[in-house]
Chain A
Amino acid sequence: MINEIIATLIEIFSSNSMQIPLIQPLVDYLMEIPLLNILVALILWRPFFAVVIMPGLIVLMLYLLYIVWFERKLTARIQWRVGPLEVARPIRGAIQALADGLRYFFQEAIVHRDAHRPYFVQLPILAFIPILLPIAFIPAGNAVGIKTPYAIQLIVAFLALIPITIIAIGWASNNRFAFVGSVREALMYVAYEIPFIIAVISMIYLYGSGDPYVAVEKQSLLPGAILNPIAFLVFLITMLMATSRLPFEIPEADQEIAFGPFVEYSGMLFGLVMVLAYEKLYIMALLFVILFLGGWNGIYCDLLGDLNAPLWLFIKTIVVISILAIVRSMYARYRIDQTLRYSFSWLIAFSIVALVVGVVAGWIV
């Protein structure tokens, strides 16, 4: 009975597995070992591979370890400092984020008396639902969790849910800084969400579909950044605003309101809320690469087979995020009124121009 179930499962997994010629002999060898073969088959099952390994959770974890260190190090270099160094000195402090994570893990998470206790503890975990669900819809070549022609719209819809959890976190903290931070987050949400959605809609008009496969296929000659440069610019700026990075780091302004909505968190809960913005940045950068930089188009290597597409998507995403990290050390923070003025005048105007460009270009193409 159990053998039949396992055999059925292996058959299901193997029918839709990643074909990677480089590790094929190893896979063939492992598939003959009982119990281990079901694990190997599961890992190489395309939906599982896309959601859990690449571009899913494991790569997301590695990216978090990398980007926290890289951003601190780059900012330090530009500001004439050294940056994290003493943890693992031979590799220039590269495991600093891991050390910080371990410290958060063993630190006491304090829930203060005035906080709304259930929400205060639940919301950092609930916030991961809208952040991690888009991974199921982001395809990387053949590796895809849930294949749907409305993937781009779904990703945008999930991204729009994230600020609600952050505002709720600020409310549950019951602290004046957290309150100011949540109000700022709400204002920023109104400021960036409209130009962002219009920019995405312009690209959907351009490609004629919300399907990432269609979008990537249409970018085989020219990337979307050249097809619609205005939408590219608007998306870039709204991405900075949405992930509260420095020119628009208004909700979390360290120097003014001490990390805003997350001011009361400590221990592991702080570790969870701290990476929210980075994970949102990862999802948005994946969408950015799919819409504007040709997705998983790249030089095809026969040896890697199906792994080509996730690898190219990942490399492009990391490059985009690494370039975005430098913006942090270049600009000072805008005031909330300046940001709202810019976004409601210039950004919306640009996004409407981008929409017109998208409609016209979509009609020509």
Chain B
Amino acid sequence: MKVEKISRSPIAELKRHVDVIQEAFKQALIPDRITIEYPRERRKYPDNLRGFIVLDKSKCISCFRCAQICPANAIQMGFYDNFYPSVDYTKCIFCHFCVESCPTGALSGSNLHDMAFKSLEDMKVKTTQMMRLPTIIREDKQTVEYFVTKREWRLVRRKELEDLSVLRIIPKIKPKRAFCEEPESCLGCRQCMEVCPHDAIVMERCEVTLEGEVVGKGCILKVTEKCVGCGLCVRQCPMKILTLKEVE
């Protein structure tokens, strides 16, 4: 957009002065206030806004993908009966990469957006705290919503109150499975086998006898039905020949 040259004629200047005085008196009498009186007014957030992260322990397979993908380094894996994530909300940037990367849907978002902590230590939310849904204390008297267009920006206030129950937003999980793209490039290092938490990767024995006879089916990776598609083997493979593929 190009800025137009402003007319400096006295009539135009006077008109601008009148405009500003008119606008100021209009706003002084009937203000279009756009700030939110926070505890007394609750802003209506869009449905897809990312919020507090909840953990379903029964689904977690301790694949560490959430901890590895976190760009802010906010997730730490703590050991209970297995490794489970805990989120440090002093660092968390609410990108929800962890939720999206979770292969089993153990982590999920919720519609809780305004969290309050009593101290800095409390912001390091433990796994046990992530497993239960928190509750919201109602302080708001009305609901407000921003109405933004290109020309206009105003705040709409409504008397009806929002439902404050915290819900899990269940992520849609497409089952995936590890798949070997080039079996002929396999080194047979068996790192994938070692890293797999479910013993889903089976390496068949392969030997070449002195007579030049091949015993066994060869160094072929076999992904069994146990695979949950956590992708640890994909990350571990030194030849980068493994990929995750969606299955029906």
Contact = CB atoms under 8 A, between A and B. Distances in A.
Interface string A308-342: 00000000000000000010011100000000000
A82 interface: yes
28 contacts: A74-B28, A77-B27, A77-B28, A77-B31, A77-B33, A78-B24, A78-B27, A78-B28, A78-B31, A80-B27, A80-B31, A80-B32, A80-B33, A80-B34, A80-B35, A81-B33, A81-B35, A82-B33, A82-B35, A82-B37, A85-B37, A326-B24, A326-B25, A326-B28, A329-B24, A330-B20, A330-B24, A331-B20
B170 interface: no
A81 B123 CA distance: 31
Interface string B149-187: 000000000000000000000000000000000000000
A182 to B, nearest CB: 31
A85 B39 CA distance: 14
A85 B36 CA distance: 13
Contacts of B214: none
Contacts of B20: 330-331
A246 B32 CA distance: 22
Of B24, B35, B37, most A-chain CB atoms within 10 Å: B24
A332 B28 CA distance: 18
B206 interface: no
Contacts of B34: 80
7 cross-chain pairs, A with B, having the tightest CB-CB distances, nearest first: A77-B31, A78-B27, A80-B34, A330-B24, A330-B20, A81-B35, A80-B33
Interface string A61-85: 0000000000000100110111001
Nearest to A79: B27
Given A326-B24, A330-B21, 15 more contacts: A77-B27, A77-B28, A78-B27, A80-B27, A80-B31, A80-B33, A80-B34, A80-B35, A81-B35, A82-B33, A82-B35, A85-B37, A326-B25, A329-B24, A330-B20
- Categorize the interface residue count of chain B: 10 to 19
Nearest to B37: A82
Interface in A268-311: none
Nearest to A78: B27
Nearest to A73: B28
A1 B104 CA distance: 102
Of A78, A81, A82, A326, most B-chain CB atoms within 10 Å: A78
B26 to A, nearest CB: 9
Contacts of B24: 78, 326, 329-330
Interface of A: 74, 77-78, 80-82, 85, 326, 329-331
A329 B27 CA distance: 11
A280 B132 CA distance: 62
Interface string B30-47: 011111010000000000
Interface string B1-29: 00000000000000000001100110110
Contacts of A330: 20-21, 24
Nearest to B30: A77
A302 B153 CA distance: 53
A316 B119 CA distance: 53
A151 to B, nearest CB: 33
A312 B95 CA distance: 63
B103 to A, nearest CB: 47
Contacts of A82: 33, 35, 37
A78 B34 CA distance: 11
B30 to A, nearest CB: 9
B174 to A, nearest CB: 46
A77 B32 CA distance: 8
Nearest to A80: B34
A77 B29 CA distance: 8
Contacts of B37: 82, 85
Nearest to A74: B28
Nearest to A325: B28
A77 B24 CA distance: 9
Contacts of B25: 326
A331 B27 CA distance: 14
A78 B35 CA distance: 12
Contacts of B21: 330
Nearest to B32: A80
Nearest to A329: B24
Nearest to A326: B24
Nearest to A331: B20
Nearest to B24: A330
Contacts of A78: 24, 27-28, 31
A74 B31 CA distance: 10
Contacts of B28: 74, 77-78, 326
Nearest to A86: B37
A85 B25 CA distance: 21
Nearest to B31: A77
Nearest to B154: A80
A341 to B, nearest CB: 14
A93 B230 CA distance: 57
Contacts of B33: 77, 80-82
A339 to B, nearest CB: 17
Contacts of B31: 77-78, 80
A325 to B, nearest CB: 10
A74 B35 CA distance: 15
A245 to B, nearest CB: 14
